Structure 1
Amino acid sequence: MDLMEIIKNRRSIRKYRSDEISQQDLNEIFEAVQLAPSANNLQPWKFILIRNDKKKRLIAQACAGQEFIGEAPVIVVACAIGRGGYIGKYMESWPVDLAIAVTHLILSAWNKGLGTCWIGDFDEDKIREICSIPHVVRVVAITPLGYPVKTVPPTSRRPVERIICQESFSE
């Protein structure tokens, strides 16, 4: 599939089939993740793949009770390890680095016919406990990963001319 087609057609999926995901597809998805750019090429990430039904239910509960998360065959917990570089000399880059890597995961998964849904509403301490994540590691995102039950209609987007400015910032 063409990259622009993947970007235009990707949707957040909230209903998954129980079909297993092949190891080859997982390997190829995470090869795309591995290739994501990061500050100083530090790649400050680790991804935990959860397949255990009990853990999936607990993670869904720790994500504000969003039960659909636990229905996917795999839940991916994206973690920031160590420290990255800096952005603008004022902000650590690891949240952005992880966001880029998770975007690679989401787009690569869609290309393979797999759906995801970026989950940001979670209790980090509960996720740490469920997944045995040390306190120096930050949980940045969670996504279910699986084959969609149905196609989701597109959502509206602001026109391009409303999101770009020429030469200086303007409202």
Structure 2
Amino acid sequence: MEFFEVIKKRRSIRAYKVGKVIPDEILFRILESARLAPSASNLQPWKFIIIRDSRLKTDIAKLCKGRMWIADASAVIAGVATRPDYRMGSGQEAFRIDIATAFAHMTLTANNESLGCCWIGSFSADECKKLLGIPDQYPLVGFLTVGYPDEIPGPKERKSMEEIVCYDRWAE
């Protein structure tokens, strides 16, 4: 697929073909795209936990406000920050932006492989960390479901360029 087509066709997928396994070489490419993602000061402040075990995916789904469709994904990827202390020159925490960038790389790579993804940001962090054995000092930033779409929703309405872009200065 041409790159811009990959971007245009991306959707948040919440229905997956159950039991369809992602070949290791495709999963590797998805993870490699995260490894190559940019990060503040090139710290690469992340660790990704790949969850394929059915029981574990079900337990995670329960801890994500009971969104059981999460368990149907071929894999669930947990994004964990390994450098939560680092702040950019602006004073902002870098790790959330860095992991979001890595998730975006994975999402687009998966879409290019005819897979679907959905970012999960609503979950019981402490319980998920305990379940996955994540040490207390490392924040669990989010999950990314990955799998073969069972249904692909149509495009959602997007704001116009005029609503989101200003040149040189802020404009209403």
Same fold (TM over 0.5): yes
Seen in structure 2, the aligned counterparts of structure 1 residues 20 and 113 have a Cα distance that, compared at 3 Å, is: same
Please show how residues 14-163 of structure 1 align to structure 2 within 5 Å.
14-17=14-17, 18-83=19-84, 85-163=86-164
Matched residue of 2:120: which SS? coil
Q: Which amino acid aligns with 1:26?
A: L
Identity within the alignment, %:
39
Unmatched 5+ residue regions in structure 1? none
Amino acid at match of 1:125: D
User: SS where residue 91 of structure 1 aligns?
Assistant: coil
- Does 1:3 pair with 2:3? yes
Q: CA deviation at 1:85?
A: 4.4
Task: State the shift of 1:130 in Å.
Answer: 1.0
The amino acid of 2:11's aligned partner reads: R
> What stretches of structure 2 of length at least 5 have no aligned partner?
none
The 8 Å contact of residues 42 and 84 in structure 1, kept in 2 or not, is answered as no
Aligned-residue CA RMSD in angstroms? 1.2
The equivalent residue for 2:170 is 169
Listed one character per residue, the Cα deviations across residues 88-142 of structure 1 (whole Å, up to 9, x for unaligned) are 4311211101110010011101100111111111110011011000011111111
SS in 2 for 1:32: helix
CA distance in 2, matches of 1:151, 1:145: 13
Helix, strand or coil at the partner of 2:56: helix
Three-state SS of the structure 2 residue aligned to 1:92 is: coil
> Is the Cα–Cα contact under 8 Å of residues 32 and 105 in structure 1 kept in the other structure?
yes
Evaluate the alpha carbon distance shift between residue 84 and residue 25 of structure 1 in structure 2; reply closer, same or farther with a 3 A threshold.
Answer: farther
Q: How many residues align?
A: 171
Shift of 1:34: 0.8
Q: Which moved more, 1:5-14 or 1:82-91?
A: 82-91
The 2-side partners of 1:100 and 1:66 are apart by 24
Deviations 1:2-58, CA, capped at 9 Å, x for gaps:
111011000000111121000000111111111100011110001101111111111
> Distance between the aligned counterparts of 2:84 and 2:13, measured in 1?
31
- Alignment partners' CA distance in 2, 1:68 and 1:92: 31
User: Alpha-carbon deviation of 1:150?
Assistant: 1.8
CA distance in 1, matches of 2:20, 2:64: 23
- Give the TM-score normalised by structure 2: 0.95
> 1:69–1:143: 8 Å Cα contact kept in structure 2?
no
Is 2:120–2:142's contact at 8 Å kept on the other side of the alignment?
Answer: yes
